[in-house]
Amino acid sequence: MNPSEQTPPVGIIGGTGLTTLKDLAIEREQATPNQWGEPSDKLVFGSLGKQPVIFLARHGNPHRIPPHQVNYRANIQALYDAGVRTVVGVNAVGGIHSEMGPAQVVVPDQLIDYTWGRASTFFEGDLEHVTHIDFTHPYDDSAREQLIAAARELDVSFSDFGVYGATQGPRLETAAEIRRLERDGCDLVGMTGMPEAVLAAELGMRYVCLGLVVNWAAGKTEDIITMAEIEEAINQGMSGVKQILEQSVAG
Ligand code: HPA
């Protein structure tokens, strides 16, 4: 039996700036509709080193699905059905904490959910009983440690803490909204961290967020936020994200 038949696959959900993984040795791609609808894109089955990996582009490829319209349930269910029990969610984020400027990589340890109107649970509809999962620690500790250990070994500027504020989007925030998030204790802000994390938890999967800061959050500088600066930070920082993924996943 070859190793890929023994080792469970790691799921990688790529966000803005990560629609493909260049170093992924691709074996096949498969459309996997399920009871929740269509995932954002085909699942890409492959391997990083000896580790089987299933990659999914959260916003589709090309990037076309806005954060509030991602079918998070179909995405997580598709990965689960394909055998994934550990998910790395890669997220572009805005930086609020003074150490979290553009191109910084962040492995957050907590989150606050400000999203609304998204299908955010598998436990609804015709239920036999009501389920309230524990969500005290939204990100899996050992998966976080693996990413952090990989980042330490590499020459990548990263933070091993942070509270992720998940906002609705697709617009960016006002300066007052960011001040409120900061008062709440948020260190970074993004639009796709939830309900992805909780859906993975509802299925008993290990979930971890690998964030890349692509701009200072609104009001943190004198300037407005431009797509050009976001693209520049993605170009600068995404190679570090990919290195961390390779090193931590491929081992
Ligand atoms: N706010 C919310 N989501 C984001 C940001 C931001 O500033 N940057 C990247 N994703």
Distance, CA 219 to ligand 1 centroid (Å)?
12
Reported as half-sphere exposure (CB side, CA atoms, 13 A), residue 117 has a value of 6
Distance, CA 92 to ligand 1 centroid (Å)?
7
Predicted local distance difference test score (pLDDT) of residue 251: 66
Distance, CA 30 to ligand 1 centroid (Å)?
30
Stretch 123-146: mean pLDDT: 93
Q: Residues 6 or more apart from 222 whose CB is under 8 A from it?
A: none
Nearest CA to ligand 1 atom 10: 93
Residues forming beta bridges with residue 46, ordered by sequence position = 26, 53
Choose one of 18, 180, 215 to mutate for the ligand 1 pocket test, by most ligand atoms within 8 angstroms of C-beta: 215
Choose one of 189, 196, 213, 238 to mutate for the ligand 1 pocket test, by most ligand atoms within 8 angstroms of C-beta: 189
Question: Using one digit for the tens of pLDDT, what is the confidence trace for 78-128?
Answer: 999 999 999 999 999 999 999 999 999 999 999 999 999 999 999 998 888
Instruction: List the one residue out of 185, 19, 16 whose CA is nearest residue 112.
Output: 185
The structure's pTM equals 0.95
Choose one of 104, 163, 173, 188 to mutate for the ligand 1 pocket test, by most ligand atoms within 8 angstroms of C-beta: 173
Pocket of ligand 1 (CB under 6 A): 92-94, 167, 172-173, 189-191, 214-215, 217
Give the other-Cβ count within 10 Å of 200's Cβ. 28
For residue 145, pLDDT over 80 is answered with yes
Between 195 and 18, the more confident residue is: 195
pLDDT tier for residue 7 given thresholds of 50, 70 and 90: confident
Nearest CA to ligand 1 atom 7: 94
Cα 234 from chain centre: 15
Stretch 127-148: mean pLDDT: 94
Give the residue ranges of the annotated binding site for substrate: 191, 215-217
Average pLDDT of the chain to the nearest whole number? 94
pLDDT tier for residue 166 given thresholds of 50, 70 and 90: very high
For the chain, the three-class secondary structure string (H helix, E strand, C coil) is CCHHHHCCCEEEEECCCCCCCCCCEEEEEECCCECCECCCCCEEEEEECCEEEEEEECCCCCCCCCHHHCCHHHHHHHHHHCCCCEEEEEEEEEECCCCCCCCCEECCCEEEECCCCCCCCCCCCCCCCCCCCCCCCCCCHHHHHHHHHHHHHCCCCEECCCEEEECCCCCCCCHHHHHHHHHHCCCEEECCCCCHHHHHHHCCCEEEEEEEEEEECCCCCCCCCCHHHHHHHHHHHHHHHHHHHHHHHHC
